[in-house]
Structure 1
C-alpha cells in the first residue's frame, strides 16, 4: 500500500509513525494469537518457494531457499508485541527488553553474546541487530555460513530470546545508561516536532502515549518484576514467527526449527491486545502551531483522515488502490515542478496517503519553506491539492505515471532471481504480522500491468477525492516560523483565504523527444585486454576514453556504471570555498541545455535511467544504474551531461534554500562543526575541506561552477566502469557511440602541489558550543595516520580501528553507559599522499563530555602501549573476512573498489586478488606496530561540542 512520504520519514525516528487527525473509529477487536495465514482469505497465489509451518504450541515459521548472498542465511524472529502492549508503569520496557535479549540468556551468559557472534564471523550491529516499534519487535541475525552447526546455533540464540532471558538485575542496571544514551542520541528537533504533532493529531489514542523509547522514569527505575511480567505475557509462542531465508536445505532447517522451538511454552496467562482507543473526529478546520527556533526550516501540512479497518489481501483490494497510487505520483510531480518556479514559496513538498495499524487512513500534504513564507506555502499547498481535487489530471501526466509504475513492476520481476535474503526475510515476516499474502514480483507484475492500461484520469481523480473526503482538515505549522498572537487562528485564517482563490485546470503538455542521441561517428577501440582471472575487460578508445567491464550474475537484469572525469577538487579555486558542494547540489538539478529536469522526467518516463554527480577529491564522479535494454540511453544521458549541462537558475534557487536549512541545522546540532570547521582545521585550513561560513557559501554561483567544471567536462580524462548483467561486446559498442565518440580527452595531469595536504601544527584541541535546548554533546577524536597507497597497511589500519571500536563498545557503552553507539573508523586518502586518520566519535551527555573523552583516549593509549589481544584480533578479523567473501558477489564492490580506476591505478587488480589472503595473514605483531606508531595520546586531535550554558537569571 502507498506510504506517505511524510509518514515514512517520521517512521525512522520511532520505528513507526502515524500522522493525521481522524474521524471517530474504535479499534477493531484484536486476537490473542498471531493472525492466521492470509492465504485462506485471498485469491492471490503465494510465493511457492516459501514453506510455512506451525508448531503445536502455536509458534509459526516460514522457510525459503534463496541463493543470494551465497553461503549465508538470514534469520528473523518477529514478536507481535511492542510498545502498544505496555502498561503505564512499563512505558519503554518493550524496547528495553529488546536490549536485554543480548545481556544474558539460558545458553549465553551476560557479556558473552556479542563476542560469540564475532567469533562466528558476524559484526555487531551489521549482522546482529533488533528493533522495537509500536506493534512489533524484530530480532535479526545474518549467519556467516550455512553449516548445520551454525544454523543450529542461530536458532538457539532466538530460542533463548523467545523463552530463556535471564533478566538479571545487575544487567538491567547496567543497561539503563545505554537506553538513556540512545534516547539522548535520538532526541533532536525533528523528533520533538513529531511528538508534538502526534499528540495534536491523535491525542486520546494509545499511539502518542506509547512512543517506543518510553519514559525516563520507567527506564531509570523499572525493576525486574516489571520486565518479567511483560516478557512472560507477550513473548509467547502464539505471538511469534520465525523466518529463515538463505542458501539452505529447507527440509533440514525445518527439522532444526522444530527441535529449537517445539518445547517453548507460555509462561503467564494471555492478555487481550489493548485497544488503540477512539480516533479524534474533526469536522472543521483545526490548526496547530509548534514553534522551535532550532528547526532548520518551517514545515506546513494539510491533513485529513478516515477510518480504516483490515481488508483481506486480495487481487481486487490491491487493484482498488492502484488509481490512488497513480494520483499520488502525479500530484507529487506537480509539487516538484511548482517548487522549482521562481518565487515559489516552498522548497519542497510531498503528498502521501497511508493506512496503519488496521486503525486509521491518513492523507497528508507537507511543504518545507522559509519561516516568513509559511502563509504563502500553505496557500500554494491548498491550491495545488484543490486543483487536483477539482480538475483532476491530464492524459500526459497519467501516461508518465503509468509508464514509471509499469517499469518498476517489470524490473522487480526481472531482478527477482537475485534478491537478497535479508530483504526477503523482512518482507515475509511483515506479511505474516500484517496478514498479507507474500507474493512474487511476477505475480504483482501480472496483476497490475494489464490494469494500468485501463486506468483513466477519472479513476485517479475519484480515488484522490475518496482519500480526502473526510470533512475535517488539520493544519500544522511547525519549525522556525514566528507567528505572533493567536497562531492557530492566524493559520486557519490563512487557509480560508487560500480557499477563496479560484484554481485552474492543468494544461496538457507535449512530451517531445530526447535530444541527445547522436554524438558523431562511433569511436574506434585502440586497445582491448582481458584480465581472465578476474573476468574483467579493459578497453581504451582512440579518443583516450578508458572503459572497464565485468559481466556478473549477481543482480539479474541490472547494470551499474561509474565514470571518473577530470581531476575533481584538486583544481577547486582556493578563493571560492564551497564551490564543490554547490556544484554537487546544482549540476544534475540544472538539467541539460535542451531539457530541464522536468522535461527529462517526462521524456524518460518508463526508462531505467538516471545519473548522479559529485565532486570527489581527485575526479568528478558520475554514477548510474540501468538495465540491458536501456544501457545505450543511460550512456546517452551521461554523455549529454558532459557535453551540454544546463546550469539552470532554478537549480541554484533550490540549492540556496537547502543551504539555508543546512546551516540553520548546523548551528543547533553537535555534529555541525564536523561538517564545517573541523575538516578545515584538520587539513591545516585547506579551503577544499569542510563547508565555509554561510555567507561565503551563499556567494557561490553557477557562473563559478560552470567556469570550474567546464574544462574538466570538455577535455578531462574519462574512465568508465560498467558491471552487471551485460553483454561485453554490445556494451563496448554502446560506449563507442557515446563517450567514445567525443573529441580526444587530455591525460590526467599530475598536479603535485594540489595533492599536498597536512595536519595542523600547534594546538590539538578545539571546543565548540552550539545554541541548543537539547542536552546533547559530542566528543570526536582524530589520530593522524597515512594514505591508502599501501593497501596492506590500509587493511591493517582498518582492523586496528575495528579493535578500538570494540573496546569503546565495551568500556564507554557497556561499562560506563556514556554513549549509545561509539563510531570508529579509519580513513586513508587515495588522493592526498601521507594523509589519513583513525577517528572516533560519540554522542554524549554534555556533563560527561570530559570524562568520556578521557576514557576514549585512555582506551587508545592502552592499545598503543600494550597492543591487542589475540581474541580481539580474531573477533575483528573474522567478521571482516565474512564481509570480504560476500562482497566478491557484489556489483557495488567491483564497481567502486576495482573497476572504477582499473586503468588509472592498475594495482587495484592485485588488491582484489590479495585481499582475502592478506587479511587472513594479519597478525597481532602487525596491529601492535601500527598502534604504537599512531595511537599515542600526544598525537590525538580532540574536539568537544556542547550546548551553550544558559545565563543564570
Structure 2
C-alpha cells in the first residue's frame, strides 16, 4: 500500500476513530516483503526470513495457539507438562537425543534451547543455531516437525518428569505468585483465567493418568493452531520447500475442537481485590480500566499502528507526570507508572489501561486518593501541550532509532515479532513502513485526539478494577475490601485541577569550557583501537565498529574507589544517592525535559577500587553526550529534596526485606563467606536512615575532581574526525590534580578459607530448602584458568541436569557458575545453587559434592566436555560482533592489564579433559568449602 493511501486514511483520525472504526474502512497493512509467509493445506502457517545478524546463525520457533486455558479441571498443569515432555523423547529423537544432538552443535539446553507455556499460547525455541551445514538446518526443522505431531509421551518418562515439575512449582511459588493467584480469583471470579495457572495443581501433576496427557496433545497440538518461524542466515526457498516436504504428513484435524478464547466480563461496579502474604515486602496498588481489544481486522490496519503510537505517547506523557510527583519528598506514593496491557497481563479478550504505585506501609488509602486524583485529572483535562510535545518527540525518536538500526536487527527480534503476530495478531509491515507512516500521520493527530482517547479509556463508572497487595502483618494496615471500595468511589468524586506544566528554556550548557588538546595519537593493531593522550593526562581509546548503525557506548575508569578514602560511605550508599539531584542548573525532572528527543545518557558508579562513568548515545547526539560527561564530572547537582525522596523510597523498599526468605539467604551467604567485613554488608533500612548526604556528595566530588588518571573508552559507529574536537572541548578541559591515586587491592575483602557450614530455618509459606555451595581455592589469574573454571561450571551444569534433575527429580534446576577473582589474591570460586524438597535436601547436596569429587578423580564426561567447548566457541564468535563485549575487553586490557581476548580460541581449543580433571582436583584438595542451607521451620503436627 502506498504512503499516500496511508495518509488519506490518517486524515480520519481526529476524534480517535481507531477504537470505533468498522472493519470495512480498515485496509490491512502490507506484510514486510522480506518475510515469506505461507500456509500448508493442513493449516500450518510459516514465516521465513533471511537475515545475517548474526552471520551463520538462525532461530527456529514453533508457536502454538494453545495454553493452560484449554485444560479441563482434570488436566490442570498438563499444557506445561506437555512442554516439558517435548524434550524427553520424540519420534526421530528418542529419550534425551534431541538435547544431546543440539548441544553437540553448541545449542545449550536452557540457554539457546527452551520453551514457555502461557494461558493462551505455548512457544518452543531453538536459537543461535549454526547454519554452516545443511544437515543442521534439516535436523532443526525435523525437531519442529516432531514437536508439532510426534512427541513420544512415554509413560516412564512422564513419571520421571513429575518430580521435576513439582520442584519447579516449589522454586517459583513465592509471595508474589501466591498473591497474584489470590487477586485473579477475586478480579475474575468464576472465570477460567483465574483457575488455570500454567504450572497447574500439584495433585493433578503428580497423579494424572498417562492417557490424559496424550489426549490433550492429540486434541490441541495440530497444524491449524501452529506457526513455524525460521529467521537467520538461511536460503528461504530451500527452507520453504523443506517445510512443505516435512510437514505434509502432519494430518489436518478432522472435526477439530473449536479454539474458543475465554471472554472476560465487564463490571458495572468497581471491583476491589486485596491479597496479603507474610513474605511480601512492599505494598503495591494497581488501578486498571478494562476495555475490549481492537478487532484484529482493524488492529492489522493502519489504525492499529496509529493506536500503538498514540498509546506510546500517552504513557510517555503520563509517566513523566507521575515520575515528577515521586521525585518530591513526602510524595503520596513511592513510585508510580502507567501502561497498557492485556487485562491482568494474561487475557486475550480484554485489554486494560493500568496505573500502578508502590505505597508506603500503612498509607494505602492516601496513595489511592492521590493516584485517583491524577487519573481523574487525566480523564477530565488530559495531558498538557508541553507533555504532549515532549512525549511525541521521544516516541518519534524511538521509531527513528529503530529505523536507523534496521539493517542490524537480530534474528531473535524478528522471530519474536513473527511469533507474537501469529499468536496475538497485529501487523508486520517492517520498520520502514512503520517509520514512514508514523511520521506522516503524527503531525496530523492533534492533542485533542489524545485527550479524547484518554477520556474514552478511563470510564467514569464502569470496568474499574482496583488491586492491593502487601504484607499480612498488622503494621501494614491493609484495609478491608469493603472499606477500600468505599474510599475508591469517594476518591473518584474529588475535585481535581488541570496540570500546570513548567518548562525551562535553558540550554544544557550555556557556554563550552576552554578546550584542551590532543597531544599524542597511536594505533593498537591487536584491538583495533586509536589511543589519544590529552593535555590533561586523560587517555581516550576509540574503536570503530559496524555492529550497529547508530549505537555508541562509553565507559570511563579511574583508580581509587571506595577503598581510596578513610571512613568512606558504603558502596551501596554511594551508588544509591550520589546521582539523584540532576546536573548543572537542572534537577532530575528538568534534566529529562531538557533532553527530550535526544538519545544520550551518562551514569556514574563507584566500586571498591575505581570510580567511573558509563553511557550510551547515537551519532546525531554526540555533543549532548559529551556535555553530559563534562557535567557529570564537574557539576553533579546537590538536591536535598531529591535525596529525601530517594531515602524514603529506599527505606520503604528495605523495611520489610527480612520477611522474604531469600533476603535472609543472601545475608547468610555474605556473612558465611566474608564474615563481618563492613564492605560486604548489605544495606538495611536502618542504614538508610543514617545516610549523610553531605558526606556522600563530598566523597563523590573528591573522587571525580581529578580527571588526570581517567581512561575513557568509546566504541560503536564512531567518526574520529568529528569526535576529536568534542574530546578536546569536553574531556581535555577537565581538571588534572595530579594526585596519582592507586587501587588498594590488598584491602579487597577475601572469601574465608576452610570448611564452613551455615544451616538455619526460616518461616515460609511454601516449604523449600535452598542450598548455596562454594568450593574455592588459590589459582593463578590467567586466561587458561578462567576458561578451565568456565568449562568446569558448564560441565557440572550438565552433570546436575542428568543426575539431580532428571534421574532424581530432586530439583528443577541446579545452577553451577564459576568466578575468578583477582584481588586481594587470585582465587577461583565454584558456586552451586538450587532449591529442593526439604525432605531430600541433604541427599541432593550429597550428590552435588559426590559429582564434584567424581570429576576430580575420574575426569569429566567426554561428551559433556566436547559440547561445552563447542558451545563456548560458538558464544565467543557471537560475542565478537557485540559492542558491549569489546568495551569490556578494552577496559580489561588497558585499565586492568588483562588480555583475555587475543588467544581465547587457541587456549580454549587446546584444553583437555585431563587438564580440567587436574584443575578440579587442585581446587578441591585445598579444602575450602562453604555450605549455606536455608530450610523451612518445621510445622507443628
Partner of 2:869: 877
Larger displacement relative to structure 2 (744-753 or 239-248): 744-753
Matched, 1:848 2:840: yes
Aligned partners of 2:181 and 2:194 also within 8 Å: yes
Q: Aligned equivalents of 2:857 and 2:573: distance in 1? A: 44
Q: Aligned equivalents of 1:519 and 1:811: distance in 2? A: 64
Matched, 1:92 2:77: yes
Which of 125, 130, 138 aligns to 1:144? It is: 130
Aligned partners of 2:536 and 2:735 also within 8 Å: yes
Partner of 2:11: none
Larger displacement relative to structure 2 (635-644 or 843-852): 843-852
Aligned partners of 1:543 and 1:745 also within 8 Å: no
Matched, 1:827 2:855: no
Partner of 2:379: 389
Change (3 A) 1:465 1:788: farther
Matched, 1:339 2:330: no
Which of 254, 257, 260 aligns to 1:271? It is: 257
Matched, 1:567 2:556: no
Partner of 1:493: 486
Q: Aligned equivalents of 2:510 and 2:478: distance in 1? A: 59
Matched, 1:942 2:927: no
Aligned partners of 1:670 and 1:776 also within 8 Å: no
Which of 536, 539, 542 aligns to 2:529? It is: 536
After superposition, residues 195-274 of structure 1 pair within 5 angstroms as 195-266=181-252, 269-274=255-260
Partner of 1:707: 698
Matched, 1:412 2:411: no
Q: Aligned equivalents of 1:800 and 1:229: distance in 2? A: 42
Partner of 1:403: 393
Report SS of the residue matched to 1:944: strand
After superposition, residues 554-953 of structure 1 pair within 5 angstroms as 554-571=547-564, 576=569, 579-664=570-655, 666-715=657-706, 717-744=709-736, 746=738, 749-752=741-744, 754-761=746-753, 764-786=756-778, 789-896=781-888, 898-908=889-899, 911-936=900-925, 938-950=927-939, 952=940
Q: Aligned equivalents of 2:94 and 2:283: distance in 1? A: 49
Change (3 A) 1:775 1:698: farther
Partner of 1:10: none
Report SS of the residue matched to 1:927: helix
Task: Provide, for residues 747-776 of structure 1, a one-character-per-residue CA deviation record: whole Å limited to 9, x for no partner.
Answer: 763344644433325651112333322323
Task: Provide, for residues 321-343 of structure 1, a one-character-per-residue CA deviation record: whole Å limited to 9, x for no partner.
Answer: 54343222211111111112121
Larger displacement relative to structure 2 (601-610 or 104-113): 104-113
Partner of 2:543: 550
Q: Kindly state the Cα deviation for residue 931 of structure 1 after the two structures are TM-superposed.
A: 0.5
Q: Aligned equivalents of 1:452 and 1:828: distance in 2? A: 52
Report SS of the residue matched to 2:903: helix
After superposition, residues 3-82 of structure 1 pair within 5 angstroms as 42-82=27-67
Which of 126, 134, 141 aligns to 2:119? It is: 134
Partner of 1:9: none
Matched, 1:326 2:339: no
Q: Aligned equivalents of 1:396 and 1:431: distance in 2? A: 34
Task: Kindly report structure 1 stretches of 4+ aligned residues shifted beyond 6 Å.
Answer: 38-41, 483-486
Q: Aligned equivalents of 1:390 and 1:855: distance in 2? A: 64
TM-score (norm 1): 0.91
Q: Aligned equivalents of 1:394 and 1:570: distance in 2? A: 48
Change (3 A) 1:262 1:40: farther
Q: Aligned equivalents of 2:780 and 2:727: distance in 1? A: 31
Partner of 2:507: 514
Task: Provide, for residues 34-90 of structure 1, a one-character-per-residue CA deviation record: whole Å limited to 9, x for no partner.
Answer: xxxx99974422211101122222222111011101110111111111112212211
Q: Aligned equivalents of 1:538 and 1:929: distance in 2? A: 41
Larger displacement relative to structure 2 (873-882 or 542-551): 542-551
Q: Kindly state the Cα deviation for residue 859 of structure 1 after the two structures are TM-superposed.
A: 1.4
Q: Aligned equivalents of 2:274 and 2:594: distance in 1? A: 41
Change (3 A) 1:239 1:446: same
Aligned partners of 1:241 and 1:429 also within 8 Å: yes
Q: Kindly state the Cα deviation for residue 506 of structure 1 after the two structures are TM-superposed.
A: 1.5
Aligned partners of 1:861 and 1:937 also within 8 Å: no
Aligned partners of 1:857 and 1:937 also within 8 Å: no
Partner of 1:452: 442
Q: Kindly state the Cα deviation for residue 572 of structure 1 after the two structures are TM-superposed.
A: 6.3
Aligned partners of 2:517 and 2:534 also within 8 Å: yes
Matched, 1:282 2:267: yes
Partner of 1:116: 101
Partner of 2:146: 160
Task: Provide, for residues 567-619 of structure 1, a one-character-per-residue CA deviation record: whole Å limited to 9, x for no partner.
Answer: 2233365675xx21122222333212421111111100100011234323322
Change (3 A) 1:923 1:320: closer
Q: Aligned equivalents of 2:936 and 2:525: distance in 1? A: 58
Change (3 A) 1:191 1:756: closer
Change (3 A) 1:91 1:517: farther
Q: Which runs of 5+ in 2 are unaligned?
A: 1-22
Q: Which runs of 5+ in 1 are unaligned?
A: 1-37
Aligned partners of 1:84 and 1:274 also within 8 Å: no
Task: Provide, for residues 394-423 of structure 1, a one-character-per-residue CA deviation record: whole Å limited to 9, x for no partner.
Answer: 211111101101100101100111010011
Change (3 A) 1:515 1:352: closer
Change (3 A) 1:486 1:648: closer
Which of 177, 186, 189 aligns to 1:191? It is: 177
Partner of 1:438: 428
Q: Aligned equivalents of 2:33 and 2:143: distance in 1? A: 28
Q: Aligned equivalents of 2:434 and 2:171: distance in 1? A: 40
Q: Aligned equivalents of 1:640 and 1:680: distance in 2? A: 39
Q: Aligned equivalents of 1:191 and 1:883: distance in 2? A: 34
Q: Kindly state the Cα deviation for residue 512 of structure 1 after the two structures are TM-superposed.
A: 1.8
Change (3 A) 1:616 1:855: same
**Alignment length, in residue pairs?**
909
Q: Aligned equivalents of 1:629 and 1:252: distance in 2? A: 41
Q: Kindly state the Cα deviation for residue 367 of structure 1 after the two structures are TM-superposed.
A: 1.1
Q: Kindly state the Cα deviation for residue 861 of structure 1 after the two structures are TM-superposed.
A: 1.6
Aligned partners of 2:555 and 2:887 also within 8 Å: yes
Aligned partners of 2:284 and 2:357 also within 8 Å: yes
Q: Aligned equivalents of 1:546 and 1:902: distance in 2? A: 14
Report SS of the residue matched to 1:371: coil
Aligned partners of 1:353 and 1:363 also within 8 Å: yes
Change (3 A) 1:39 1:190: farther
Change (3 A) 1:948 1:307: same
Partner of 2:357: 367
Change (3 A) 1:478 1:673: closer
Task: Provide, for residues 418-475 of structure 1, a one-character-per-residue CA deviation record: whole Å limited to 9, x for no partner.
Answer: 0100111110121122232212112111111233223333222111110012623332
Q: Aligned equivalents of 2:479 and 2:919: distance in 1? A: 63
Change (3 A) 1:486 1:884: closer
RMSD: 2.4
